[in-house]
Amino acid sequence: MNSKTFAILPAGGCGQRTGLDIPKQYCDVLGRPLIVYTLESFQRLSWIEKILVAVSPEWEGHMTELIQRYKFTKVGLVNGGTSRHRSIQNGVRHLQDHILKGLGGAHLRENGKVSSEEEPVVIVHDAVRPFADEDILRKVALAAKEHGASGSVLPMVSTILESDPHDVLVQSLVRSTLRESHTPQAFQWSVLHHAYQKISEHDLDHGTEVLDLALKYTGCRAKLVEAPDYVWKVTYRKDLVAAESLAKVLWSEVYLINSDPLSSKVFNNLASCLASRNLKVSVVPTMPDAVRYVHTTVVLHSIKPAQEEATMKCEESLDALVSKPDCDGLLACMCHLQDDSDRTLGTYRRLAKRLDARGKDKRVLAFLVVYTTTQEKEQQTLSRVCEMTATLIFDRNPLMSGQLFVVSDRD
Ligand SMILES: C[C@](O)(CO)[C@H](O)COP(=O)(O)O
């Protein structure tokens, strides 16, 4: 993008439809508030200059705390309004007064568009759509540059019926010409600015669709861009469950640290178990730098090591993981034991507890899986160990952190 791009996120809603007592944008999904995922989608893009979030006054303190905790350097707050349009309007005013000073909006042509290459672009996106990726954000931004406005759409999954005030069918609409409107949407700055300058009090309180405002007040007909289905809006309680499942897949990266050639067989097996759960897996020789806010999993494997060596290796690796800035992850250690006597297992059990205690301060979960096997059953045991480790990684259940998991095929 060669023109400046900004984002406005209305986040003033109270989440009535979830039936929960906090607004859905602040609900916890895999250990962090939903809105954090949304903000991260924008923060990580170098071509986004500033992200303005419209929040209601009672949640301002909480949002300020989240901005600091997650180091969102581009995020600023504006007052949330009593309606979606009033919140977005506050964002537009803030852009005009503090960021795009003097750029009051270029002269619009008949069709609402501006031809200047440098015309800034503003993306409008709901805070409760956490999975907008770079591809769709870029597509709508580029389409807005060309067409003045653009919006993400999805095909209708059900037929729409028009009913009269007594719930009696009037007609069914032709589904093939209809589209569901979603966000992100993007606008040339002048289009958005004009629309919110001219908007009527009635539209401010009763409308929700910004594409509609652009058409009505500037004549700009938005380009509709087909979006991936995961841009859907978290609206009901069931959507929080779906968001959690998607976060596991879209926001997780697994690194298998293979520093020992003898571990290749184990890692190949584990990698295919993880890949079958749609997780992103890389086999790397050393500990990676933690990736910002992606749930990072690091898996280690040691082969029949001396007990002290294995425990030391696990502890060192956890320390390396927790010392990364912005670390937010999971450490899974797999150890192939020669002896599974009570004494040895006791040592590993204590190690699991220590790993858990150390990881707690830094939001790191630690799982320890040990196994012993006989030569005849090695393949079968390995498959079980890898399946179990993959399940632990996929579930990311904090209750499992600090537990010792033992797999043995001995009678
Ligand atoms: C569907 C929508 O109108 C697209 O612009 C928008 O997402 C509606 O948001 P609301 O918060 O449910 O009004």
Domain definitions of the chain by residue range: 5-239, 251-408
pLDDT tens, residue by residue, 123-158: 999 999 999 999 999 999 999 999 999 999 999 999
> Using a 6 Å cutoff on CB, does residue 87 contact ligand 1?
no
> Using a 6 Å cutoff on CB, does residue 50 contact ligand 1?
no
- Contact (CB, 8 A) for 149 and 191: yes
> Using a 6 Å cutoff on CB, does residue 208 contact ligand 1?
yes
pLDDT tens, residue by residue, 380-405: 999 999 999 999 999 999 899 999 99
pLDDT band at 101 (very low <50, low <70, confident <90, very high): confident
d(CA 299, CA 321): 11
pLDDT band at 308 (very low <50, low <70, confident <90, very high): confident
Locate the ligand 1 atom nearest the alpha carbon of residue 124 and give its number: 5
Q: How far is the CA of 233 from the centre of ligand 1 (A)?
A: 8
Spell out where 34-113 has E strands. Answer: 48-55, 75-79
pLDDT tens, residue by residue, 334-371: 999 888 889 989 999 999 999 999 887 777 899 999 99
Give CA separation, 350 vs 315, 331, 406, in Å: 12, 16, 14
Please give the pLDDT value at position 19.
64
Nearest-CA residue for atom 10 of ligand 1: 208
User: Which position has the higher pLDDT, 338 or 9?
Assistant: 9
User: How is domain 251-408 classified at the CATH fold level?
Assistant: Rossmann fold (3.40.50)
Span 224-253, mean pLDDT?
93
User: Which residue in 340, 355, 334 sits closest to 267, CA to CA?
Assistant: 334
Complex confidence, ipTM:
0.95
Locate the ligand 1 atom nearest the alpha carbon of residue 185 and give its number: 5
> Using a 6 Å cutoff on CB, does residue 194 contact ligand 1?
no
Mutate to test the pocket of ligand 1, among 233, 234, 236 (most ligand atoms within 8 A of CB): 233
What does CATH list as the number for 5-239? 3.90.550.10
The structure's pTM equals 0.88
Say if residue 293's pLDDT is above 90: no
d(CA 148, CA 221): 8
